[in-house]
Structure 1
Amino acid sequence: MRYFVSRVMFFVLTLWAAVTLNFIIPRLQPGDPAQSMVARLAGQNEAIDPATIRAVRLMLGLPNGSVFSQYGDYLVAVLHGDFGVSYTYFPYTVTHMIGQALPWTIVLVGVTHVLGFVIGTLLGAAAAWKRNGPFDTVVSLGSTFLGTLPFFWIALILIYLLAFTLRWFPESGGYSGEIEPSLSLAFLGDAAYHSALPALSLLITAPIGWILGMRNNMVHTLGEDYTRLAEAKGLPTRRVALAYSARVAILPNVTGFAMGLGTILGGTVLVEMIFGYPGMGKLMFDAIANRDYPLMQTIFLFTTIGVLLANLAADILYGVLDPRVRRETQA
């Protein structure tokens, strides 16, 4: 019990530190969002009236006063779920913009992340169990080769072959402009059709880390005394592989999977920019490019909370799967 309580307390402390850093870091960046917005609207060669900048600052609700008062106001706003108005997409609120982009990222990155973990873990375990054989050679060498290929190169090759040459899939966008976004089967099918290429580009490289990590971990656990004892007792091969070797070997992968699952809320900037996908990655890129502090802060905060929650879940699951962790904490 002490192990789980310590994990929760560590989560709360880390969350407070993350919220504080999330407030400080954007304010260390140079530039004025209001001035950038006025310059973008007026043009590069046009003179900028200081009164216009002051009016835009008031319209956007940019923070005034000391840093400490801004920090207090920020904490109160976060507790109430009020993240302000987006400077880039004014007059829409930050919550509205994230609500529009988050489902796209969760579906695309979440599904591919889970599939990549399952496929990679199973292939890695099978390669370790049949180590030094043809299957192990093909899986290991194939994963190593694919891991050397730049992701953007794979994405561009898929666009050229499957979108421009064969015209099997659209080259960009999340859905067709002729279909109104809704929960209808027509829209969901169209959205799945548009997400096929981004998902395929992610799935080509997503299992690689899980394959190599699971294989190496399981090769190590196969040489442990408890695995040899299980084999000497005459237990079925499948039970030895899954219940004794793979159960321990998968623990590092579980931690990595949980942390990767938490980063889903931040999206995948490169994927979404290449394919013009309307997710959190593109939203983050626009926020950084336009010094949109409220939108930047909220996306970073959501990503951080997602990683911390996923890490907490991994710690708890780690303690459930491996009793030695709980005993070390109680000792």
Structure 2
Amino acid sequence: MRYFARKVAFFLATLWAVVTLNFLIPRLQPGDPAEIMVKRLAGKDSQLDPAQVQAMRAMLGTPDGSLWSQYTGYLGELAHGNFGLSYTYYPFPVTEVIGQAIWWTVVLVVVTQVLSFAVGTVLGAYAAWRRNTRFDSVVTLGSTFLGTLQPFWIALLLIYLLGYTLGWFPTSGGYEAATPGFNGPFIQEAVSHSFLPALALLVVTPIGWVLGMRNTMIMNLGEDYIRLARAKGLPDRRIALGYAARNALLPSVTGFALALGGVLGGAILVETAFDYPGLGRLMGEAVENKDYPLLQTLMLLTTAGVLLANLVADLMYGVLDPRARRAQS
């Protein structure tokens, strides 16, 4: 029980630190969201009127007073689930803005993460089992090369080739004229609009799983229990899947849990390139417009998701592997 209590206490302490940093970081950035909105409404070259800026601050509910009073007020609002109004999408609440975008990101990123994990793990395991062969060389060198590419660059390339040149897929947005809901036309449009963003992510996201699984499995293939299994005459398939791959999969499962925890952060550059209506694009807009409430909520969702996934992975390790509990007792 000491192991689990320590993990939960560490999670709570880290979550408090995250909430504090989430409050401080946006306020340390230069710029005033009220001034940004006044310039947007009046024109970039117009002279700023202090009265207009002050009125905009009052309308947006921009925090004022000492930093400590803002911090205590922020914690109080957070405890009541009140995340404020979005400056960018005023007068809509932050929760409503995020609620409309979150499912776009969840579907896009979760699907690509699951496919990337499955494909990368299988390729990495087979490359390790067939190490020093042509297949291993192609997978390893190809993964290393693709790992140097940026998803944003791949997104622009896909937009040019498959969008503008060939015209096979739409290049921006999440849907066109269909009524949002669980109906055939909307689902068809949503799938066609999400194909290119998903493809841009699928080109690079399996790379880490491929190389990680391959390297871990090669290390496991040199362990004594693998030699014993060979000496007992077990079939190669059983040794590869039931012994080497099974043990090599544990670190990948932890990484997969953390990757799913970071889903709420979205894919900022890819979503921005395709003007995809997800959380990544919202994050970029919040940074650009100094939208403190929206930015803080998105950062909190992302970090809390990663921390929660890390906690679940640690607790699962404690249940599945007693050595982890004894090592920290």
- Alignment TM class, shorter chain as reference: over 0.9
CA RMSD of aligned residues (A): 1.5
Aligned equivalents of 1:97 and 1:256: distance in 2?
A: 30
Residue number in structure 2 paired with 1:296: 295
Q: Secondary structure at the match of 2:205?
A: helix
Q: List runs of 5+ in structure 2 lacking aligned partners.
A: none
Number of residue-to-residue matches in the alignment: 329
- 1:279 aligns to 2:263 (yes or no): no
Give 1:174 deviation, angstroms. 0.8
Q: List runs of 5+ in structure 1 lacking aligned partners.
A: none
Residue number in structure 1 paired with 2:153: 153
Aligned equivalents of 1:326 and 1:243: distance in 2?
A: 24
Residue number in structure 2 paired with 1:223: 222
Residue number in structure 2 paired with 1:168: 168
Give 1:209 deviation, angstroms. 0.9
Q: Secondary structure at the match of 1:250?
A: helix
- 1:65 aligns to 2:81 (yes or no): no
Judge conservation of contact 1:248–1:322 (CA < 8 Å) in 2: no
Matches within 5 A, 1:71-220: 71-176=71-176, 178-220=177-219
Residue number in structure 1 paired with 2:42: 42
Aligned equivalents of 1:235 and 1:329: distance in 2?
A: 35
Give 1:242 deviation, angstroms. 2.6
What TM-score results when the alignment is normalised by the length of structure 1?
0.95
Aligned equivalents of 2:321 and 2:130: distance in 1?
A: 25
Residue number in structure 2 paired with 1:251: 250
Aligned equivalents of 1:174 and 1:166: distance in 2?
A: 19
| Percentage of identical aligned residues | 63
Query: In structure 1, what residue type is equivalent to 2:95?
Result: T
Task: After superposing the two structures, state which structure 1 stretch, 314-323 or 209-218, moved more.
Answer: 314-323
Runs of 4+ in 1 over 6 A off after TM superposition: none
Aligned equivalents of 2:32 and 2:160: distance in 1?
A: 40
Aligned equivalents of 2:68 and 2:145: distance in 1?
A: 52
Task: After superposing the two structures, state which structure 1 stretch, 4-13 or 93-102, moved more.
Answer: 4-13
Give 1:5 deviation, angstroms. 2.2
Aligned equivalents of 2:95 and 2:139: distance in 1?
A: 44
Query: In structure 1, what residue type is equivalent to 2:70?
Result: Q
Aligned equivalents of 1:93 and 1:67: distance in 2?
A: 23
Aligned equivalents of 1:323 and 1:227: distance in 2?
A: 21
Aligned equivalents of 1:151 and 1:186: distance in 2?
A: 29
Residue number in structure 1 paired with 2:234: 235
What TM-score results when the alignment is normalised by the length of structure 2?
0.95
Query: In structure 2, what residue type is equivalent to 1:66?
Result: S
Judge conservation of contact 1:38–1:52 (CA < 8 Å) in 2: yes
Judge conservation of contact 1:39–1:48 (CA < 8 Å) in 2: yes
Judge conservation of contact 1:102–1:279 (CA < 8 Å) in 2: yes
Residue number in structure 2 paired with 1:270: 269
Aligned equivalents of 2:242 and 2:297: distance in 1?
A: 42
Give 1:167 deviation, angstroms. 1.4
